[in-house]
Chain A
Amino acid sequence: MLSLLSSLLSLLFVFLISCCIITNHFSFRPLSLLKLLGVIKFTASRDDDDHYKRDEGTYVVGEEELQRELMPRHVAVIMDGNRRWAKREGLLTSQGHEAGAKRLIEFSELCFKLGIHTVSAFAFSTENWGRHKIEVKCLMSLIQHYLKSKIQYFQREETRVSIIGNLTKIPESLRQTIHEIEEATKGYKKKHLILAIDYSGRLDILRACKSIVHKSETGLIREEDVDEAMIERELLTNCTEFSSPDLLIRTSGEQRISNFFLWQLAYTELFFSPVHWPDFDKGKLVEALVSYQRRERRFGCRV
């Protein structure tokens, strides 16, 4: 009786799969399973924190399976929506940014647990200097506070921290803290957190050109030696082995890259999430990773 019921359900399942294949003709975007299954937990043996290795090759987080070999090596994130989140919650802008900072720590922790090597975050853009002075001051203080208070945490987690950007305009105290944390964590190789502060993609490219000019003046290179690889080596992302992100996540529903990693994002999978950054939790990250693992990336070549 039970096996008959099970067989009927399986047949129904096959029928539905056929319907799904037919409706694929209409080129639907697949509905995220996690949105509907968010409150339903499949009972299975699990470790703490609801994620574990099912076998050597996969991670199971909630209801989704992530393949270890398909995990991106470098995930970049544009942390958009702190102010809108704060407004929605009836909080101050500074509290929104603080929630965003906490979210970044959790996000990077989870990424590293899932085997991602490099996480880079767009913390402050060159254009952000145009914001209200008090907000800018608050942001600089927040960044300094978090970097200073987390030095031991990053050492314990063996995570290398690098800060990239035009650091000439930031407060001296923050610059010292940056130097401190970079020195304290420079020896770690397995996990790398990159914070982009006062960063502009265009200025990064220009800076690379200037660096090449200085090298040519000292006779280290000739004019004809300048090629794409050389420019790439001079970009600020040369601090990591994987300078081009495999996946870029931008929150708050905005669908643009806003002058972040312009050169590096040529073949990066772009994932635009409608939620604000402080709300971008584990489920949303898994959604992004599942979406990434389902794509077939050809890097411009025919496979």
Chain B
Amino acid sequence: MDLNQSMRLLSSWIAQIGGLGLDLLWRFIHLVVSLWYIVSGIIEAVESYAISLGLNKKYSSINIEKLRCLAVVVDIEEARDVSKVIELLQWLRTIGVKQVGLFDSQGLLKKSKDLILGTVPGSVLSEEIGEKDSSPEQNPLALEFISSSDNKEAVMKAANILLQDYLKSSRPENDKGENFFTETHLNEALRVVGENVHAPDLLLVYGPIRSHLGFPAWRLRYTEIVHMGSLNYMRYGSLLKAIHKFTGVHQNYGT
């Protein structure tokens, strides 16, 4: 009996020590991972500041011509702080971006349109480009303000236009609309509704989640999508890095 009790006691101690040992090992692993996380984060921050200061020659010259149209998606909570959006636009102008589409799902940036256009030097509405004979700015920054109403609602309106046109047109009885409902026709209908159908080359998403949050789907076919994190913690270096990375991307377009 004593032997059995001793064995039981021994195995209980072994189990407790083993459990504690595993617990310590787990905490040690967390320690290592946390240190790694901190170090890599610091390296990333330092790299970003180095890029901002122009110390990294790799990012000193960017082939910005490849980026014809940039779109920025902003989470609605972060879109409330327009000053951050203005700062971002000023950075984009400095980099040499010529056309920017600003999107938030509820149209908050649309409501702040006048403030943004008045504060960002050289910015004009993209619809106004070409309307004026001579722009006072040599390199204006064309801005487009987009919201969710320009996504599915716009496609729905365009579909209605196509439907009305199709029903009014004279066509053969067995015509199923194969030649009537094409991408070109829907593009035209979207223009009639007042939408821009130009697809952005690069989409930067500022917000807590990696989603385009309802950006006009029709335009996103081959758009590069980059999640930039929170707008509150945006860095010039990260922006430059994202654009530089985009200029190196090669697309096969499925072929």
Spell out A's residues near B (CB within 8 Å). Answer: 2, 5-6, 9-10, 12-13, 16-17, 19-20, 23, 25-31, 33, 36-37, 40, 42-43, 125-128, 130-131, 201-203, 205-206, 208-210, 212-214, 216-217, 223, 226-228, 231, 254-259, 262-263, 265-272, 291, 295-298, 300-302
Set of chain B residues within 8 Å of A31, measured between Cβ atoms = 33, 36-37, 40
By DSSP majority rule, is chain B's interface helix, strand, loop, or mixed?
Answer: helix
Interface-forming stretch among B57-65, B138-146, B155-163? B155-163
A267 CA / B205 CA spacing, docked (Å): 12
A36 and B221 form a contact (CB under 8 A): no
CB neighbors of A among B162-182 (8 A): 162-164, 166-167, 176-177, 181-182
Q: Is the CB of B34 within 8 A of A26?
A: no
Question: Are B38 and A23 touching (Cβ within 8 A)?
Answer: yes
Interface residues of B in 54-79 (CB under 8 A from A): 75-77
Q: Give B202 Cβ to nearest chain A Cβ, in Å.
A: 9
* A201 x B34 contact (CB < 8 A): no
CB of B213 within 8 A of CB of A300, answer yes
Please report B residues at the A interface, Cβ cutoff 8 Å. Answer: 17, 20, 22-24, 26-38, 40-42, 44-45, 75-77, 105-106, 148, 151-153, 155-156, 159-160, 162-164, 166-167, 176-177, 181-183, 186, 208-215, 217-218, 220-227, 229-230, 233-235, 249, 251, 253-255
B226 engages A265 (CB within 8 Å): no
State A270–B235 Cα separation when bound (angstroms): 22
Most buried by A among B20, B105, B166, B211: B211
A20 to B31, CA, bound (A): 11
B53 to chain A, nearest CB (A): 16
Q: Contacts A210-B177, A296-B209, A302-B76 given: A265-B38 contact, CB under 8 Å?
A: no
Contacts of B40 in A (CB 8 A): 28, 31
Tell me the bound Cα distance from A226 to B153 in angstroms: 10
Give chain A nearest CB distance to B219 CB in angstroms.
Answer: 9
Q: Please, how many angstroms separate the alpha-carbon atoms of A137 and B254 in the complex?
A: 16
Asked if B212 and A265 make an inter-chain contact with CB atoms under 8 angstroms apart, the answer reads yes
The answer on a CB contact under 8 Å between B224 and A206 is no
B155: nearest residue on chain A (CB-CB)? A205
**Sampled A-B contacts (27; CB under 8 Å):** A6-B27, A13-B27, A16-B30, A16-B35, A19-B34, A26-B41, A26-B45, A27-B233, A36-B32, A40-B29, A201-B217, A205-B217, A209-B163, A213-B162, A213-B166, A213-B181, A228-B156, A231-B159, A259-B254, A262-B217, A263-B155, A265-B212, A266-B212, A267-B213, A270-B227, A297-B209, A297-B211
Residue of B nearest to A216 (CB): B163
User: Distance (Å) between the CB of B45 and the closest chain A CB?
Assistant: 4
The residue among B148, B221, B251 with the most chain A CB atoms within 10 A of its own CB is B221
Q: A258-B221, A300-B106 are in contact. Are A128 and B254 (CB under 8 A)?
A: yes
**With A262-B220, A263-B152 in contact, do A255 and B33 touch (Cβ < 8 Å)?**
no
Looking at the assembled complex, report how far the CB atom of A254 sits from the nearest CB atom of chain B, in whole angstroms.
Answer: 8
Q: State in angstroms the CA–CA spacing of A268 and B227 once bound together.
A: 13
| Residues on A with beta carbons closer than 8 Å to the beta carbon of B106 | 300, 302
| B76 to chain A: closest residue by CB | A302
What is the minimal beta-carbon distance from B101 to any residue of chain A, in angstroms?
16
The reply to whether B181 and A20 form a contact with Cβ atoms under 8 Å apart is no
CA gap between A256 and B255 in the complex, in Å: 15
* Docked complex Cα distance between A27 and B234 (Å): 8
Q: Please state if B225 and A20 are interface contacts (CB–CB under 8 Å).
A: no
Please state if B159 and A259 are interface contacts (CB–CB under 8 Å): no
Apart from A23-B38, A206-B186, A300-B76, 16 more pairs, CB < 8 Å: A6-B27, A16-B35, A27-B235, A31-B40, A36-B33, A42-B26, A126-B254, A127-B255, A128-B254, A201-B217, A202-B221, A213-B166, A256-B224, A256-B225, A257-B223, A302-B77
What residues of A have a CB within 8 angstroms of the CB of B211 in the complex? 267-270, 297
In the complex, A127 Cα to B208 Cα: how many Å?
Answer: 33
Instruction: A19 to B220: give the CA distance in the assembly, Å.
Output: 39
Contact B160 A30 (CB under 8 A): no
Q: Is there contact, CB below 8 Å, between A19 and B38?
A: yes
Q: In the complex, what residue of chain A is closest to B16 when comparing beta carbons? A: A2
Collect the chain B residues with CB atoms within 8 Å of residue A131's CB.
254-255
Closest chain-A Cβ to B143's Cβ sits at a distance in Å of 21
Contact B176 A16 (CB under 8 A): no
Contact across chains for B218 and A256 when beta carbons are under 8 A apart: no
Cβ-neighbour of B159 out of A209, A217, A255 (below 8 A): A209
Whole-angstrom distance from the CB of A77 to the nearest CB of chain B? Answer: 15
Contacting pair A300 B42 (CB below 8 A): no
- Do B77 and A6 have beta carbons less than 8 Å apart? no
CB distance from B158 to the nearest CB of A (A): 8
Residues of A within 8 A of B177 (CB): 210, 213-214
Are the CB atoms of B162 and A209 closer together than 8 Å?
Answer: yes
Q: How far is the CA of A13 from the CA of B29 in the complex (A)?
A: 11
Chain B residues, CB < 8 A from A217? 167
